[in-house]
Structures are given as structure tokens and as C-alpha cells.
Structure 1
Amino acid sequence: MQFLKTVIYVDSVEEVLDFYYQAFGLSACGLSEDGDYGELDTGQVLLAFATHPVAQAQFKQSYIRSQPKQPALGFELTLGCENVAKSYDKAVAAGAEPLSPPAQKGEHTQAYVRSIEGTLVALISVE
């Protein structure tokens, strides 16, 4: 078995793809004609977004819609970056909610933001 991608359900795929480009420099590598599905090039595993109606149609009662203004769901995305402080500032300037400013955690610098669709994003230093 191989882990292929993560899909996050959102209100507007195009808006979220643009945010992830502005905030984290991740480029879109695909967007459906109807705008209901899009993918980001992360270099490894795909990070994809689809609209809430797609999820509601597929999962029926097994789907709970995330709400950006409510507490975050129980997962995070972790992005490795060379300069956590610069990446944190760039994400906040693009509209991310600042949660935890850059701080040294053991061998790494780490910070947290919440993206516009409500996902927790950890920024971790990599060399």
C-alpha cells in the first residue's frame, strides 16, 4: 500500500489553492473544469482540495463539514521550510491565523498557523 494524497474539503477550491500559493509557495498542478477539485504540487504526496458539496454527495451522513471559525479538526499539515520565521510571516501576511510564533523545539524551529479553510499548519525547520 502507498499513501497517495490528502484531500481537504473546502468552500472554494480556487481560493484555497491561491492562498496556499501565496502563503506557502505551493503551486497548483491541477484544477477540474468545474472548480470542484484541485491539487497542489508538494514535491512528494499530493495535497488536494474538493468542495463540501462533493463530500456531502459522496459521504452523506458520515460527513461533518469543517468550519474555519470553529475549533480546528483533529489533524495538522506539517510543512518543512528553511526559514520558519520568514515562512510564518509570509503565511500570516497571506491571511493565515497566527497560532504559535516561531520557537525552538529541540533540534527544530517550529511555528503554527491556521489556514483560511481552517486547517492547522505546522511550519518546521529543515536543512
Structure 2
Amino acid sequence: MIKFAYTILYVKDVTKSIEFYENAFAFKRKFISPDNDYGELATGDTVLSFASTTLAKTNLSEGFLESNPETKPFGIEIGFATENVVQVFEEAIKAGATVVEKAKTKPWGQVVAYVRI
């Protein structure tokens, strides 16, 4: 049996990224490695992890596209479900996120909003 276990985001600053998700979304820190190259958040059944771009370069010998807040976002998203999208969106902005798309209701009734850090 195969189970989806975690998502890893390659980031410049693991500790800063963990702190953002703690502050913006109230996730709990599982751990950060002593060298600050890797960290995990407890988010339910699936772990949200962060690895430094330095560590990523050792994992991906051919390189990778680094996320850059100054350019368009990648064609991927990390989705969180909540009863109050607008409130969580505003909390994320207060915690340092930038607005990608304000909250709107999709034709099927789902309310969505997009931020990035």
C-alpha cells in the first residue's frame, strides 16, 4: 500500500518558513534539524516539510527552479481547508504573506483565496 506522506518545499530559510506557517495557520512545529536545513509541521495526516535550497542542491544534482516572490508562482498549490477563508486569508497577510488572489466563490460554491510567501 502506498500512502501520500508529505510535501517538501525548498526554501531559502527553513526556520522563517516554519514560523510563518505557525503564525499564519496555527500549525504546530514537529521539528527543525540542528543545521536548520530541514523542518516539519504537524498538519494532520500529511506532513508539510521545508528543506533549504542548499540541501535541495545536494538532492537534485541537475538543479531546480527556485521559487521567487518577484516572479509568477509555480503551477502548483498547497491547499488548506477552513470554514472561514476570509479570516484565515487576513491572518496569513498579517503574518507576512502577499496577496495572489483575494477570496472569491467558485461556481460550485467553494470559497478560495491565494497567498504566497
Task: Give the SS at the match of 1:71.
Answer: coil
The one-letter amino acid paired with 1:81 is T
Structure-2 residue corresponding to 1:31:
32
Relative to the length of structure 2, the TM-score reads 0.92
Counterpart Cα distance in 1 of 2:91 and 2:63? 36
Relative to the length of structure 1, the TM-score reads 0.85
Structure-1 residue corresponding to 2:111:
109
Structure-2 residue corresponding to 1:83:
84
**Which structure has greater strand proportion?**
1
Counterpart Cα distance in 2 of 1:63 and 1:88? 29
CA apart distance, 1:48:
0.1
Structure-2 residue corresponding to 1:50:
51
Count of matched residue pairs: 115
Deviating more after overlay: 15-24 vs 61-70:
61-70
Structure 2 segments unaligned to the other structure (5+ residues):
none
Counterpart Cα distance in 2 of 1:70 and 1:38? 25
Q: Does residue 5 of structure 2 align to residue 4 of structure 1?
A: yes
Following TM superposition, the consecutive aligned residue runs of length 4 or more in structure 1 with deviations greater than 6 angstroms are none
The one-letter amino acid paired with 2:115 is V
Task: Give the SS at the match of 1:47.
Answer: strand
Q: Alpha carbon RMSD of aligned pairs, Å?
A: 1.1
Task: Give the SS at the match of 2:60.
Answer: helix
Counterpart Cα distance in 1 of 2:67 and 2:91? 24
Identity over aligned residues, as a percent? 34
Counterpart Cα distance in 2 of 1:66 and 1:110? 22
Structure-2 residue corresponding to 1:92:
93
CA apart distance, 1:108:
1.7
